[in-house]
Amino acid sequence: MLPSTAQLKQTGGRELKRIVFDEETIAERVQALGREITAAYPDGDLLVLGLLKGSFIFLSDLVRRIDRPLQVDFLVASSYGEGTVSSGKVRLVYDPETELAGKHILLVEDIIDTGKTLNKLVGLLRQRRPRSLEICALLHKHVADHLELEAKFVGLDAPTLFLVGYGLDHAENFRHLPYIASLT
């Protein structure tokens, strides 16, 4: 169910247009991704590295569907500011303190749009000499010109609309919605 008009007045005047992926669809895909990831890492240390803030809900649901030992840490990178178009300037706000060398690193992203954020991060993370580096994205818009590393695990193919909810924001609003919706 979409939020009431009263709730929308508190979200910077932007309104939700329609639900693109409902809770059940998301949950089914997250469960399947968890199985895929479990099977893909039969041995070694796995570090699931969530890209904040957008991946926080996806990551928390995903790790509970991965049935093998793992560690969790976070990175913060920001590229959009208050707009709905990627600025391309990726700012890494902090580095994980966790040791990356020799571990399987699974970088968890909410959505891949231009790919600029990931292209920058993949370079930085490879310098830390992980045993392997892969990307898991909940959503993929398939519009990027060039990806340094294509996502090995993808939840859902996304339409080229601006999406919010389940961690994704517009100017920091709508992250808490349990579904993914498009904006007007």
Q: Which residues are catalytic?
A: 113
Pick from Mg ion, ligand IMP, none: which does 165 bind, CB < 5 to 8 A by kind? none
Contact set with Mg ion (CB under 5 A): 54, 80
We find the least distance from the C-beta atom of residue 102 to ligand IMP, in angstroms, to be: 27
Could you give the residue ranges of the DSSP H alpha helices within 41-180?
56-63, 116-126
Pick from Mg ion, ligand IMP, none: which does 112 bind, CB < 5 to 8 A by kind? ligand IMP
Cβ nearer to ligand IMP, comparing 41 with 56: 56
What's the DSSP call for residue 161? S
Contact set with ligand IMP (CB under 6 A): 54, 79-80, 86, 109-117, 162-164, 168
Cβ nearer to Mg ion, comparing 32 with 92: 92
Pick from ligand IMP, Mg ion, none: which does 61 bind, CB < 5 to 8 A by kind? none
Closest CA to 51 of 2, 106, 123, 98: 106
Cβ nearer to ligand IMP, comparing 126 with 141: 141
Cβ nearer to ligand IMP, comparing 44 with 84: 84
We find the least distance from the C-beta atom of residue 47 to ligand IMP, in angstroms, to be: 19
Pick from Mg ion, ligand IMP, none: which does 166 bind, CB < 5 to 8 A by kind? none
| Beta strand extents in 8-131 (DSSP E only) | 16-21, 46-52, 71-78, 91-94, 104-112
∠ CA 52-104-88, nearest 5°, is 35
Whole-number Cα distances in Å, 7 to 10, 11, 13, 181: 6, 7, 10, 15
We find the least distance from the C-beta atom of residue 101 to ligand IMP, in angstroms, to be: 25
∠ CA 39-74-94, nearest 5°, is 145
We find the least distance from the C-beta atom of residue 162 to ligand IMP, in angstroms, to be: 4
